[in-house]
Chains A and B, each alone.
Chain A
Amino acid sequence: MERREITTSTDRLFSRRRFIYYTAALAAAAACGPAPAPATGSATGSPVGAVQLRGTKVNLLHWTSFVPDEDKWFKETLVNDWAKPNGVDLTVELVSANEAQPKIVAALQAGGGPDVMLLQWTWAHLYADKLSDVGVIAEKVGSDGGGFYDAMKQNSQVQGVWRAVPFGLLGNAIHWRESVLKQAGADKFPATWSDLTKVAADAKSKSKLFLGQALGHSFGDPPTFVQPFLWSYGGSETDETGKKIAVNSAATKDALVAFKEFFDKSADPQCLSWDDSSNNRAYAAKQIWATLNGASIYLTALKADPDLAKDTQLALLPAGPKGQVLLGVPFQYAIPKYVKDPGPARELVSYIMSPKTYGGFMKAGSGYTLAPYKKGEGDLWPSTDPKFDPFKKVGTLTKWYGYPAPPSQAAAESGSKYILVDMFAKVAQGETPESAMSWAEGELKKVYKL
């Protein structure tokens, strides 16, 4: 083989031997110098401890909010403020609330899928065996946030173990038009169901607009109306122990009789097919004068129809003979057991739920999603609009599926099957309260295996 002569300065500089010298020198210098710090999760005061984040991937399954700015916060702010600086490849998958459960079930059954999933209602009880214990994060978040509301804790803790970290609460309020209420001869929104029935009947006869209440198989508006209605008359699925079906009772009958009168006089049968978006559209089109909904109707009107927004007021559900009870839609973050390295997922949840970050999120969403902890109605309250003030009471007044018994798998299953919603829908369709109660009792016995 012919030997190549080193003749030029460039050749001398980049000869094979010299290249080895330079490389070795650089390696030695690098070894002696300060090492670049790995991105860890300690920056937010995370309870998770030091977690190697750089180079990891996290897949977050979230619901598509009715307020697009909330989605934008997850897609942009969260990615820019947390994922990119920490070198995390964060995927935010947004699905509609009604489609979230099939995805979650499929992932849990297959043993693979999102690293963090947003649960609704009491699903943590339904999937408890397949969810990691997230007690360390939940305790820290709760403590930093001034304590979780009772309902949020009930939904997330299964037999004393935190299977999810409370994320937030959609507070539903009745959106009503002041002009129509005045037309009906009332000067303030009724405080009881019986008064509302009278006022709404007058409003319907005078304005030809009805109170639109969704009663279809949809995740939010139907259950958040019928369950508080039932509870406020003293009715419930089971007794306080959850061991005895109590739906077929005098209290339930009172509730159903009152509801039938309310529905016939003030609502419209078309509501039986409504889902969570139907009433938003009907209100925006001024086809109805009042409806129970999250603040999205009002927030949308502020941008799209300022006159309608000006005419719109918000009120919590009225009280029944047994008082005022609410059912906000609770959300929780869960980390499935199939996630092999849960560190980054835990770090993400800790980051989102820290009051500082969460305050920013609430501001971005104009307070549509309410905080699961008490600081949310205090320091973090994002709105200066007094119309929003009723929402401050939602966290305290809200109950859970299965109330007054503790949440359970059966209560979650009953909610997923819309048994109470259908009991009310049957009465609205003309079935007698006795028949509807008897039907519900049969179905609940099957669900509760009693």
Chain B
Amino acid sequence: MRAETHERPVTAGQLPSIGELLDRQGVLAYVLLLPGVLILAAFIGWPFITSLWLAVTDQSVSTSVVRFVGLDNFTDELRSQIFLQTVRNTFVYTGVTVVFKLALGIGLAVLMNQSFRLKNIARAALLLPWIVPTALSAIAWLWLFDATFSVFNWVIVRSGLADRGINWLGEGAWAMTSIIIANVWRGTPFFAISILAGLQTVDRELLDAAAVDGASPWQRFWRITIPLIRPVVLIVLLFSTVWTISDFQLVYVLTRGGPANSTHLLGTLAYDVAVRAGQLSQGAAISLYMFPVLIVCVVALLVYMRRSSI
């Protein structure tokens, strides 16, 4: 369809009025985009450029004179065992949580797509972990995992499953498991609700036709439903990967990266180095190590969306 414009011819030497300019679609589009672009530039673009600059200097809280050091901050980190451990932690944390969130999210979405009493209330309740502020829910998890007063340990000991409880946050592997559990609990609703929205767009007639042709429920789900909701699943997967890899609050409240750095993620380590130890440039370099991974995710997402829209 051809865009309809209401442009009035402007005679030579006569400037168009603001109203006339805004009548032009090309101009109006930029005017409408401007506030969003300015907000993004101020709150994302500028901090990002600043962190790029910081990462190639030797700025710390204590220095007044700043020197350009090239990529030294990046190479220095590669010699740090804490950093290397943090990179491993970040990938383990992201990989495991995303897989669990996806599996549980699909399961919950399928469940919520059925007809049952109080369906709407159940759907609303499902969103609660996602809605509650992370810092608040992390404090609740902190109490659940508390070394002395853990509810889980109380149940384990009282039910006779073990003589003593699990050292949830005090032992490296259990601490990682704990933050993974908390993250999965928090992130699953996002998967479930998004996939549920996708499920509701699946044409019932296709499923009914397959059933008539003798397809089993599993075949219908695997061969018809999954291909149809794949765009939604991929987008949710990519968003979740981006958010999880840059996670901070949950880990900061639950373990602060401990014990002995076994749960540090790039976000929490960058914070510790930049803010607590005052090494702003090193902290910026650590956080920028996330960038290549995130950019791959974003590019993949954009490419996929472009292909889907063709």
- Which stretch (A34-42, A264-272, A294-302) binds chain B? A264-272
- Whether the Cβ atoms of A416 and B272 lie closer than 8 Å is yes
- Whether the Cβ atoms of A422 and B260 lie closer than 8 Å is yes
Q: Which of B63-99 contact A (CB under 8 A)?
A: 63-64, 76, 79-82
- Whether the Cβ atoms of A278 and B80 lie closer than 8 Å is no
Q: Which of B20-63 contact A (CB under 8 A)?
A: 60-63
Q: How far is the CB of A127 from chain B (nearest CB, A)?
A: 6
- Whether the Cβ atoms of B80 and A271 lie closer than 8 Å is no
In whole angstroms, what is the CA distance A216 to B62 when docked? Answer: 26
Per a CB cutoff under 8 Å, which of B61, B146, B170 touches A271?
B170
Q: How many A-B residue pairs have CB under 8 A?
A: 111
Q: Which residues of chain B are within 8 angstroms of A285 by Cβ–Cβ distance?
A: 148-149
Chain B: residues with Cβ within 8 Å of the partner, total of: 37
In whole angstroms, what is the CA distance A215 to B147 when docked? Answer: 12
- B257 beta carbon closer than 8 Å to chain A: yes
Per a CB cutoff under 8 Å, which of B147, B148, B167, B276 touches A417?
B276
- A18 beta carbon closer than 8 Å to chain B: no
- Whether the Cβ atoms of A102 and B148 lie closer than 8 Å is no
In whole angstroms, what is the CA distance A278 to B275 when docked? Answer: 24
Q: Please give me the residue from chain A that is nearest to B153 by CB atom.
A: A270
- Whether the Cβ atoms of B278 and A105 lie closer than 8 Å is yes
Q: How far is the CB of B262 from chain A (nearest CB, A)?
A: 8
Per a CB cutoff under 8 Å, which of B60, B259, B271 touches A216?
B259
- B102 beta carbon closer than 8 Å to chain A: no
- A413 beta carbon closer than 8 Å to chain B: yes
- A397 beta carbon closer than 8 Å to chain B: no
- A179 beta carbon closer than 8 Å to chain B: no
Q: Which residues of chain A are within 8 angstroms of B64 by Cβ–Cβ distance?
A: 129-130
Q: Please give me the residue from chain A that is nearest to B82 by CB atom.
A: A443
Contact size range, A: 35 or more
- A51 beta carbon closer than 8 Å to chain B: no
Would A272 and B61 be within 8 Å (CB), given that A413-B279, A443-B80 are in contact? no
In whole angstroms, what is the CA distance A43 to B279 when docked? Answer: 42
In whole angstroms, what is the CA distance A296 to B261 when docked? Answer: 29
Q: How far is the CB of B52 from chain A (nearest CB, A)?
A: 17
- Whether the Cβ atoms of B76 and A446 lie closer than 8 Å is yes
Per a CB cutoff under 8 Å, which of A108, A273, A287 touches B258?
A273
Q: Which residues of chain B are within 8 angstroms of A281 by Cβ–Cβ distance?
A: 148-149
- Whether the Cβ atoms of A442 and B79 lie closer than 8 Å is yes
In whole angstroms, what is the CA distance A439 to B260 when docked? Answer: 11
- Whether the Cβ atoms of B261 and A422 lie closer than 8 Å is yes
- Whether the Cβ atoms of A273 and B273 lie closer than 8 Å is no
Would A126 and B61 be within 8 Å (CB), given that A102-B275, A416-B272, A422-B261 are in contact? yes
Q: Which of A256-307 contact B (CB under 8 A)?
A: 269-275, 278, 281-282, 285, 287
Q: Is the interface of B mostly helix, strand, loop or mixed?
A: loop
In whole angstroms, what is the CA distance A196 to B276 when docked? Answer: 34
Q: Which residues of chain A are within 8 angstroms of B149 by Cβ–Cβ distance?
A: 281, 285
Q: Please give me the residue from chain A that is nearest to B59 by CB atom.
A: A109
Q: How far is the CB of B53 from chain A (nearest CB, A)?
A: 14
In whole angstroms, what is the CA distance A274 to B171 when docked? Answer: 11
- B101 beta carbon closer than 8 Å to chain A: no
Q: Which of A96-132 contact B (CB under 8 A)?
A: 101-102, 105-106, 108-109, 125-130
- Whether the Cβ atoms of A273 and B278 lie closer than 8 Å is no
Per a CB cutoff under 8 Å, which of A102, A106, A125 touches B276?
A102
- B186 beta carbon closer than 8 Å to chain A: no
- A204 beta carbon closer than 8 Å to chain B: no
Q: Which residues of chain A are within 8 angstroms of B170 by Cβ–Cβ distance?
A: 269-274
Q: Which residues of chain B are within 8 angstroms of A130 by Cβ–Cβ distance?
A: 61-62, 64
Q: Which of A388-435 contact B (CB under 8 A)?
A: 409, 412-413, 416-417, 422, 425-426, 429
Q: Which residues of chain A are within 8 angstroms of B275 by Cβ–Cβ distance?
A: 101-102, 105-106
In whole angstroms, what is the CA distance A409 to B272 when docked? Answer: 15
Q: How far is the CB of A145 from chain B (nearest CB, A)?
A: 28
Q: How far is the CB of B90 from chain A (nearest CB, A)?
A: 18
- Whether the Cβ atoms of A109 and B279 lie closer than 8 Å is no
- B277 beta carbon closer than 8 Å to chain A: yes
Extra pairs beyond A272-B171, A422-B258, A426-B260 (15, CB < 8 Å): A101-B275, A102-B275, A109-B61, A126-B61, A129-B62, A129-B64, A217-B256, A217-B258, A269-B167, A270-B147, A278-B146, A282-B148, A417-B276, A442-B80, A447-B277
30 contacts between A and B (CB under 8 A): A101-B275, A105-B275, A105-B276, A105-B278, A127-B62, A129-B63, A217-B257, A217-B258, A270-B148, A270-B167, A271-B170, A272-B167, A272-B258, A274-B170, A278-B146, A278-B148, A285-B149, A287-B148, A409-B60, A409-B62, A417-B273, A417-B277, A422-B258, A426-B260, A429-B171, A429-B260, A442-B79, A442-B80, A442-B81, A446-B79
Nearest first, the 4 closest Cβ-Cβ pairs linking A and B are A273-B169, A270-B147, A273-B170, A272-B170
Q: Which residues of A contact B (CB under 8 A)?
A: 101-102, 105-106, 108-109, 125-130, 215-218, 269-275, 278, 281-282, 285, 287, 409, 412-413, 416-417, 422, 425-426, 429, 439, 442-443, 446-447
